[in-house]
Amino acid sequence: MRMSHFVGKQLKEDPKDAQMVSHKFLIRGGYIRQLSTGIYSFLPLGFRVKMKIEEIIREAMNAVGGQEVVMPVVHPADIWKETGRFDAIDESLLRFKDRSDKDHVLAMTHEEAAVHLVRNDVNSYKQLPFMIYQIQTKFRDEARSRGGLIRVREFTMKDAYSFHSGSACLEEFYAVMHEAYMRIFKRSGLKNFISVQSDSGIMGGGVSHEFMSVNPAGEDTLFLCECGYNANREIADGRLPQKAVQSDRPLEEVATPGKKTIQDVSEFLKITPRETAKCVFYTSEKGLILVVIRGDREVNETRLKTHLQIEKLSYADDETIRNCGAVPGYASPLGLDNDKISIVLDSSVAEGSYVCGANKENTHIKHFTPSRDMKEVPHTEASVYTTMEGDLCPECGKPLSMARGIEIGNIFQLGTKYSAPMKALFLDEKGESREMIMASYGIGVGRLMATIIEDNHDDYGPIWPAAVAPFTVHLNALNLKEEEVRKTAEALYETFIQNGIEVLFDDRDERPGSQFSDADLIGAPLRVIVSMRNLEKGEVEIKRRGEKTSTTVPVNESLSKVKGLLAELLSSSEI
């Protein structure tokens, strides 16, 4: 391809709203252009990278027996109502009516469509297991699009769905897909990625994993241990490093005028926040909820939802809190109207004694000992505190470290969450009807593309891994007015094409500085530079993107040198 005819110019300035490196370079390099909030068009450079990533994914899915399909983006609401997700999912699911006044959705995921596709065609255990996959457009009406392709509304996703006759079969294939994902990310050129245990969220089911690129720019919080334990913030189960101190002294009221916050109470009573217990009130579809938790800890709402089997939580207002007998700012789990509230005692205060509210204005109580004082108070116990850095690993007991990560893929053991309500049944060996057991597997293509840049760049632009680079060779001809430069560059261009090398030829006769700046933004792994200074010695210059040094080779050896370097670059990402 010649740059003189190439669509998508390189820009000198960073876009004003860009915070992430990948967003800046994807816009400046001429890969994408924003059409609307969270909605992007892919220019030729971006499209070429996208197609290469998709081919890596496709090869990996085919290698484990995947069968490629294409399912519609527009779904009738009926199939989403079968599973209950039409009403359960918030505004991120875009709902609309057609001209016949029938409800439809723009698919953010395809579990319902996949079950609908197979439930009439598969009816025997002999047809199981199998996996179907697609690389298809999705739409999520994301409330806070950010980071260019990192968090968008319209996106391309590879989503796969496997169907099984039993749990053992599911778990075996789930492990196969886990390894396939690791190969995909390695081939794509990611340097530091891991899989972590995760919460299934709206997908439902039991076991799930997220694949994370460990990166300071990530929006997810991860907790890691050298023993191999990895989990995201939502389900990390770090153990408390300090043992609680327990008192056998009776409850004692103490005046705390105007001291409503944990920090204020701690400073006033000259204690640490971890010596206090706080009350956090929520409202949910099951009514008012009170969580009693250590003062220096935050409630992990994901784990609380799982414990109570609820979908939504929101903080209770002061009026609601007062209606159950509590006093905002001075609340206690003691003396409440238990018919109006469900109390959850967090494991952080299951042992020990604490200062907590007295349900009186300007008053707290000392020596609150839940194991003693909550015996007659109806409650449940659970571990719903949020893990912090330095908490102890639940598997080996060593301190956990905290990191940031960008989610690049996820896999879910769904069980019968979708097959049961949609009646996806099969006959087993005994002729008995059973529900298919499912798993789903997703990779966001655009997000992976952006993450590759986050992992592979310098101050000047992307450094594309050879397997996904839009072009593997960038050919720069310096001063095309020189006939020898023009003839040599044209001959090399044709030679590279004839030998199957993807080459972008800068034939614009721009100044060297401008050519090299644009080449940095395009980020091809190899740069071949034709100039009179080197041609006087019968040579051309070859330089790897991201390296300061270059080498010169005779013109007639440039093809073999380029081939050798590309083979070396490609082999570094092979499995």
Q: Which CATH number fits domain 473-571: 3.40.470.10, 1.10.10.10, 3.30.1360.120, 3.40.50.800?
A: 3.40.50.800
| Domain coordinates in residue numbering, the chain | 15-191+417-454, 252-382, 473-571
> Averaged over 470-499, what is the pLDDT?
94
The answer, yes or no, to whether residue 4 has pLDDT greater than 50, is yes
Mean pLDDT of the residues in the chain: 94
Distance CA 497, CA 492 (A): 9
Confidence of residue 505 (pLDDT cuts 50, 70, 90): very high
pLDDT digit string, tens, across residues 70-86: 999 999 999 999 999 99
> Averaged over 142-157, what is the pLDDT?
92
Judge: domain 15-191+417-454, CATH 3.40.50.2000.
Answer: no
Q: What is the pLDDT of residue 457?
A: 96
Q: What is the pLDDT of residue 133?
A: 98
CB-based burial of residue 35 (10 Å sphere; 0-12 exposed, 13-18 middle, 19+ buried)? exposed
> Percent of the chain scored above 70 by pLDDT?
98
Q: Which residue has the tokens 């614009």?
A: 508
The answer, yes or no, to whether residue 148 has pLDDT greater than 50, is yes
The answer, yes or no, to whether residue 573 has pLDDT greater than 70, is no
Give the C-alpha distances (Å, rounded to integers) separating 228 from 11, 211, 231, 395, 460: 43, 14, 10, 9, 35
Confidence of residue 35 (pLDDT cuts 50, 70, 90): very high
Distance CA 277, CA 275 (A): 7
Closest Cα partner for 282 from 264, 302, 262? 302
The answer, yes or no, to whether residue 244 has pLDDT greater than 90, is no
The answer, yes or no, to whether residue 55 has pLDDT greater than 50, is yes
Q: What is the pLDDT of residue 202?
A: 47
Q: What is the pLDDT of residue 201?
A: 56
Q: What is the pLDDT of residue 367?
A: 96
Q: Which pair of structure tokens corresponds to residue 271?
A: 């204690």
- CA Rg value for the chain: 30
Q: What is the pLDDT of residue 200?
A: 57
Q: Which residue has the tokens 């891991």?
A: 194
pLDDT digit string, tens, across residues 335-390: 998 889 999 999 999 999 999 999 999 999 999 999 999 999 999 999 999 999 99
Q: What is the pLDDT of residue 575?
A: 52
SS3 432: coil
> Averaged over 316-323, what is the pLDDT?
95
**What are the residues facing 212 on neighbouring strands?**
194, 407
Which carries the bigger pLDDT value, residue 246 or residue 63?
63
Q: What is the pLDDT of residue 19?
A: 85
Between the ranges 139-148, 243-252, 390-399, where is the mean pLDDT highest? 390-399
Top CATH class of 252-382 equals: alpha beta
> Averaged over 243-247, what is the pLDDT?
86
Give the C-alpha distances (Å, rounded to integers) separating 8 from 25, 27, 30, 514, 527: 13, 10, 5, 15, 20
pLDDT digit string, tens, across residues 173-206: 999 999 999 999 999 999 999 999 877 554 455 7
pLDDT digit string, tens, across residues 78-122: 999 999 999 989 899 999 999 999 999 999 999 999 999 999 999
Distance CA 544, CA 546 (A): 6
pLDDT digit string, tens, across residues 509-548: 889 999 999 999 999 999 999 999 999 999 999 999 999 8
Q: What is the pLDDT of residue 205?
A: 55
Q: What is the pLDDT of residue 311?
A: 82
Q: What is the pLDDT of residue 53?
A: 98
Q: Which pair of structure tokens corresponds to residue 26?
A: 């994807």
SS3 19: coil
Helix axes 167-187, 44-63, angle to 10 degrees: 140
Kindly report whether the peptide bond that precedes residue 129 is cis, defined as omega within 30 degrees of 0: yes
Pairing of strands 277-284, 313-315: antiparallel
- Per-residue b/e over 360-394, b at no fewer than 16 CB within 10 Å? eeebbbbbbbbeebbeeeebebbbbbbbbeebbbb
